[in-house]
Amino acid sequence: MAHAFLDEPYGPVEEAFQSRLVAPDTWLVTGAGCESYLVVGAKRAMMVDTGMSRRDLRAYVARLTDLPVSVVNTHGHFDHTGGNGWFEEVFLHPKAVALAKQAFGNPSDFPLDYAVTTVAEGHVFDLGGRTLEVLEIPAHAPSSIALLDRRERLLFPGDEVESGQVLLMLNPEATDTVARHRGNMRRLLGLLPAFDRLCPSHNGSPILAGHYLQAFLENDERVISGIEGSTRLASPSFPYGGKGRFPMEENPHWRRSEWKGTSIVYDKQQFGR
């Protein structure tokens, strides 16, 4: 599990990051913020998200590969983009651009002077004998994309399919976040011949895809049909109260729905039937 939002500004990088191999040429890298992934091809490598450590993620990644390394962000939230500035090339969805440099904490703690290139549905990153295909799946965030790795049969869905929960109440643009999430689950289930495992950005990875996507779909459908979730919102990965925590107890419209090992947190005023 990623080290939440906690990080110290000084010290060797081995104290800030840990890594493990989760598939051939695929490293899960944990640190402050989210769980990131290093995907290595024959010619170059790609970081899927960069967390938000104040220490040099690029220096740590150099221990895992000597290939050129670019970054692609699954969405614009700073716990996924805070380490972008350590890298020379950053790709993200157009709707992520404004958010990506809005620091959680003191902006001077992070390298934010970097250029970005936008990508959208259908873009394919060629890493040399291995590709990552961009799929737009906005619900948790309007900028959300997933990366499909057909060679290793992996899907990197960011925060749209988490092993802890999906937070559907944070999207400022949508009034139908649960319905959007349901549509995304239907789409990903249709793509199952191309992948077997999910590599989400929080709460553990990898996980088997089929049963989990189906259970999320059913969870969404239950909420849309009128079943109201619980007002008990906190979880080990989503605490509330105290400095830096979500003010859940101050929002009377937020609910948690749990079903077959999945959990969604949603605003009951923010979904369409």
Residue range of the domain that includes 200:
13-267
Residue 7 forms part of a structural domain? no
Residue 6 forms part of a structural domain? no
Residue 5 forms part of a structural domain? no
Which two structure tokens, joined as six digits, stand for 143? Answer: 């900028």
- At 4 the pLDDT is 46
Total domain count, the chain: 1
Q: Which amino acid is at 4?
A: A
pLDDT values of the chain reduced to their tens digit, one per residue, 273 residues: 334 445 555 555 567 888 999 999 999 999 888 899 999 999 999 999 999 888 889 999 999 999 999 999 999 999 999 999 999 999 999 999 999 999 888 888 888 999 999 999 999 999 999 999 999 999 999 999 999 999 999 999 999 998 778 999 888 877 789 999 999 999 999 999 999 999 998 887 788 999 999 999 999 999 999 998 998 887 766 665 544 455 555 688 889 999 999 999 999 887 654
Residue 164 forms part of a structural domain? yes
Q: Distance of CA 127 to CAs 124, 130, 148, 194, 196, Å?
A: 9, 5, 13, 18, 21
| Residue 150: burial class (beta carbons within 10 Å; 0-12, 13-18, 19+) | middle
Residue 273 forms part of a structural domain? no
Which two structure tokens, joined as six digits, stand for 262? Answer: 């999945």
Residue 272 forms part of a structural domain? no
- At 199 the pLDDT is 96
Q: Is 212 left (phi over 0), alpha (psi -120 to 50) or beta?
A: alpha
Order the strands of the 18-23 sheet from edge to edge.
18-23, 26-30, 36-40, 45-48, 69-72, 90-92, 117-118
- At 168 the pLDDT is 92
How many helices and strands, by DSSP H and E, does the chain display? 5, 16
Residue 3 forms part of a structural domain? no
pTM, rounded to two decimals: 0.91
- At 5 the pLDDT is 47
Residue 185 forms part of a structural domain? yes
Q: CATH number of the domain that 75 lies in?
A: 3.60.15.10
